[in-house]
Structure 1
Amino acid sequence: MTSAHPLDDPITTALFGRQSDLAQVKGRVARYHPDVSVFYGHPRELADDDWHHLAALSAGSTVSMRDRRQPLPADWELLESFDLVQYSGENLDTTDSDGIGDVIELTAADVPEMTALVTLTRPGPFRPRTIEMGTYLGVRDDDGSLVAMAGERMRPDGWTEISGVCTAPSARGRGLASTLIRAVGAGIRAGGDQPFLHTTAGNPARKLYEALGFVLRSEVKLEILRTR
């Protein structure tokens, strides 16, 4: 269930590989546990059985599909589509990641605050058990409130995705996102992986990622589907 390169299909590679403990699998398709993440892995070319297995795994909820090549079966419908870009972080500059006193590691006890920050800033999906996908780091303000965070999400072979990068409006302009991206990236490298990330094609934060050393690798079409 692997592609020529792990980043060609990081979701499927991770679900059938290093994050199989977080997966629900049926035949050739898989999904993260609903409390962990929203993403599904699937073959590039889907047979009838694969569509049936996706329907069974989704249990009436939505399904994410990456770079669909085939027409939808008659009993499926397209709800939304997103143009994403994937960045490789092999050149990410982590030189300023040492000695950052304000950065703390977040734990399951912090999930309510993390969820509130995600709701406020909308960096992407975050579920009650998303924190189990990897290390999450954050910054608290003087009053103790969580004002910025970033963490690890998909883990295909040799790579770990940086995700959940967000800063509260009251704390923007302080370079917290850059600080956290470097810190998470340094931790990924310390574990023997290289970082990568996804974002929407129109996200102004792309300029920040490129300034930090991320290099555009591919464009991705992500669709949200549902059975009729």
Structure 2
Amino acid sequence: MTERNVLADPVNAALSGPHARFRVSSGRIQRYRPDVSVFFGHPRELTPEDYADIAALAEHNGTVLLRDRATPLPAGWTVIERIGLVQYDGSAVETDTEPEAVRLTAADVPEMTALVERTKPGPFLPHTVDLGTYLGIRDADGALVAMAGERMHPAGWTEISAVCTAPEARGRGLASRLIRAVGQGVRDRGETPFLHTSDDNPAQKLYDAMGFVHTSTVPLEVIRVPAG
């Protein structure tokens, strides 16, 4: 049985473990490379030095993404958006292969990005595809109409992410089929799937129906850092 406690802080667990090659760090703060993912790993209780390190790792537009922050922001820092980040454990989910699924690679990133922009499943950056296996389904004309893939990778677990279906292809169960297929690859490595969504996402009904089990809901904040 895989230890579930790493899911309490999956960003730090991934960046300190299997995803260390994607890490950029300063002091106690670490983050994914800005071309890979937007997530920061940080303690819940942040010191002035921690905030200085966060600012040093901020993207060029001066924004950072903090999960489950427990201390007040420094003067001048602003919360732009706050969502409830819902986490699900996929230990009980049935997985299977998907004959229609194709492996997506860096060559497919323009199409993947276009699908993400249409469907808004969450951030997808130029090198997000490097984080793990991404599978897609194409229609009869060859257009990419659905995809799902792997994102955070704490030891023993892999997050299923970027689950999206083009509006014209909905109602065919493509999302659940791709989730099961990505999950099968995770299981084949001896790991356990999990996933995140927002607390206002109707997809929660699908995840509940598939057997995912809610583990936590924590605040996720997009924060603007003033220019130094």
Which of 133, 142, 145 does residue 140 from structure 2 map onto? Answer: 142
Q: Write out per-residue CA displacement over residues 21-79 of structure 1, whole angstroms, 9 at most, x where no aligned residue.
A: 01111111011111101111101211221111100111552111111111111132211
**TM-score (norm. length: structure 1):** 0.95
Look up the equivalent residue of 2:192 and give its one-letter code: Q
Which stretches in structure 2 are left out of the alignment for 5+ residues? none
CA RMSD, aligned part only?
1.4
Measure, in 2, the Cα distance between the counterparts of 1:4 and 1:104.
30
Percent identity of paired positions between Structure 1 and Structure 2: 58
Which stretches in structure 1 are left out of the alignment for 5+ residues? none
Alignment of 1:42-57 (within 5 A): 42-57=42-57
Aligned residue in 2 for 1:80: 81
C-alpha distance 4-174 of structure 1, shift in aligned 2 (>3 A)? closer
**TM-score (norm. length: structure 2):** 0.95
Measure, in 1, the Cα distance between the counterparts of 2:4 and 2:162.
27
Measure, in 1, the Cα distance between the counterparts of 2:38 and 2:59.
13
Matched, 1:7 2:7: yes
Aligned residue in 2 for 1:166: 164
Are the aligned partners of 2:37 and 2:123 in contact in 1 as well (CA < 8 Å)?
A: yes
The number of residue pairs the alignment matches comes to 223
Q: Write out per-residue CA displacement over residues 54-113 of structure 1, whole angstroms, 9 at most, x where no aligned residue.
A: 00111552111111111111132211111121000000111xx23x32111101100000
**4+ runs deviating over 4 angstroms:** none
Report the secondary structure of 2:57's partner residue.
helix
Alignment of 1:65-214 (within 5 A): 65-94=66-95, 97-98=96-97, 100-214=98-212
Are the aligned partners of 2:34 and 2:59 in contact in 1 as well (CA < 8 Å)?
A: no
